[in-house]
Amino acid sequence: MKRGMLSAALRLFTVQGSWNYDRMIGVGLGETVAPLLRDLPGGRDGERYREALARASGYFNAHPYLAGVAAGALARAEHDDVPGERIERLRLALVGPLGSVGDRLVWAGTLPAAAGIGLALAATAPVGVGAAVFLALHNAVHVVLRWWGLGSGWRHGMGVARALAAPGLVVALRVVTPIAGFSLGVALPLVARSLTQGFDHSLLLGTAAVGLVALVLQLRLAPTLGALRIGLLAAGVAILGGLLWR
């Protein structure tokens, strides 16, 4: 294993710690890459190290769970004596693909899938099981993605595009969204049944009517008022209704 790889992997968990509007997560990426650059000729006090670290700390905006792909690839390119201009282009070229793949894989895939499984268990299993399973699933996914990305980026270097064509990743992108839809589809009726236990039919019909009215208002008024304002208005009406009901 490459010297400094473990330290870099741990730093990936703080890649957003220095987020800013100028470089996005670029400073965090540079901090992640630093342990992999320390054995460049001249060491930490050498010109090669300082230049490489400055390049890695430039603008970078991609999914944080896949930032390790860029970190490993940039470090490997520096060790392979790739010209600085090409390394700069590589860093910028990775922004779009890593952001797109990460959003599809995590935000539209594994996160809602884990949430669906957790909600289903929360509605059917003892207290705490659903939350524990959700946290375990989601955290397992992002830990694996960070470690895999860092190692894959280091192996491929300038040819890191091959990492995004890995068979496992391609299959995951194909199946994760249907899995997320299925898990949420199973969870919703289970959660609804759990939350409405003890309600009589009139209260259930009233709840459904309120939900339908809210949906119509959102479809008709959201472009003007926005979903947040509609939600706040609905919450205010609910609070006022509750006070009057008392």
Measure CA 102 to chain center: 6
The answer on pLDDT for 208 being more than 80 is no
The answer on pLDDT for 223 being more than 70 is no
Are the beta carbons of 68 and 149 closer than 8 angstroms?
A: yes
Give the Cα separation of 231 and 214 in Å (integer). 9
- Give residue 155's identity as a one-letter amino acid code: R
pTM of the predicted model as reported, rounded to 2 decimal places? 0.81
Helix axes 84-102, 47-56, angle to 10 degrees: 30
Confidence grade of residue 138 (pLDDT, cut at 50, 70, 90): very high
Q: What is the pLDDT of residues 20-45, one digit of tens each?
A: 999 999 999 999 999 999 999 998 89
Q: In terms of DSSP H, where are the helices of the chain? A: 5-11, 26-37, 47-56, 67-79, 84-102, 111-124, 129-156, 167-195, 201-225, 227-245
Please tell me whether residues 170 and 232 are part of one structural domain.
no
Query: And the tokens for 197?
Result: 């236990």
Give the Cα separation of 58 and 23 in Å (integer). 6
Closest to 228 measured CA to CA, from 218, 219, 237? 218
Which of residues 193, 212, 232 is at a domain's end? 193
Please tell me whether residues 86 and 124 are part of one structural domain.
yes
Residue 213's pLDDT is 75
The tally of domains found in the chain comes to: 2
Please tell me whether residues 36 and 21 are part of one structural domain.
yes
- Structural domain of 65: 5-193
Which of residues 193, 217, 232 is at a domain's end? 193
Please tell me whether residues 207 and 232 are part of one structural domain.
yes
Which of residues 170, 193, 216 is at a domain's end? 193
- Give residue 52's identity as a one-letter amino acid code: A
Please tell me whether residues 16 and 89 are part of one structural domain.
yes
Give the Cα separation of 47 and 78 in Å (integer). 12
Are the beta carbons of 119 and 42 closer than 8 angstroms?
A: no
Please tell me whether residues 162 and 239 are part of one structural domain.
no
Residue 201's pLDDT is 72
Please tell me whether residues 206 and 111 are part of one structural domain.
no
Please tell me whether residues 181 and 207 are part of one structural domain.
no
Give the Cα separation of 59 and 7 in Å (integer). 22
The answer on pLDDT for 216 being more than 80 is no
Query: And the tokens for 226?
Result: 């926005």
* φ, ψ at 61 (rounded to 5°): -140, 100
Please tell me whether residues 60 and 164 are part of one structural domain.
yes
